[in-house]
Amino acid sequence: MHAMLALAGSHLDMYSEHPRQNIALGHRQKAIAGLGAALDRWPSQPKEAHVMLATSCLLTYQAFFIPDGMQDYVISLRGCGKHS
């Protein structure tokens, strides 16, 4: 949910005379934190895997709308998964 709100907020910021990017970034941070927590519990249920993939796609797409977005996204997810 936070990933969808973050993407919508970034999109609205592009067309607004008075952008409020902080709201979009707040939802983005919550979405990345939630995705990181979900990756930490891997392996997940099939339903959760689909949601994780959708969240990742939304966050990646949103990264194109904000400065340094892709770098921020990659750094935030680095090391979230457990390595055997």
Q: Which pLDDT tens digit goes with each residue over 59-77?
A: 888 777 777 666 766 766 6
What residue numbers bound the domain in which 63 lies?
Answer: 2-77
What is the reported pTM? 0.68
Considering the domain boundaries, does residue 82 fall inside one? no
Contact 35, 77 (CB under 8 A): yes
Considering the domain boundaries, does residue 20 fall inside one? yes
Tokens for 24? 């979009």
Whether 21 shows a pLDDT value over 80: the answer reads: no
Contact 42, 2 (CB under 8 A): no
Q: Could you give the CA distance from residue 14 to residue 17 in angstroms, rounded to a whole number?
A: 8
| Ranges 18-22, 37-41, 62-66, most confident | 37-41
Categorize the per-residue pLDDT at 84 as very low, low, confident or very high, splitting at 50, 70 and 90. Answer: very low
Domains of the chain: total: 1
Considering the domain boundaries, does residue 84 fall inside one? no
Whether 13 shows a pLDDT value over 70: the answer reads: yes
Please tell me the predicted confidence (pLDDT) of residue 78. 63
Q: Could you give the CA distance from residue 45 to residue 13 in angstroms, rounded to a whole number?
A: 35
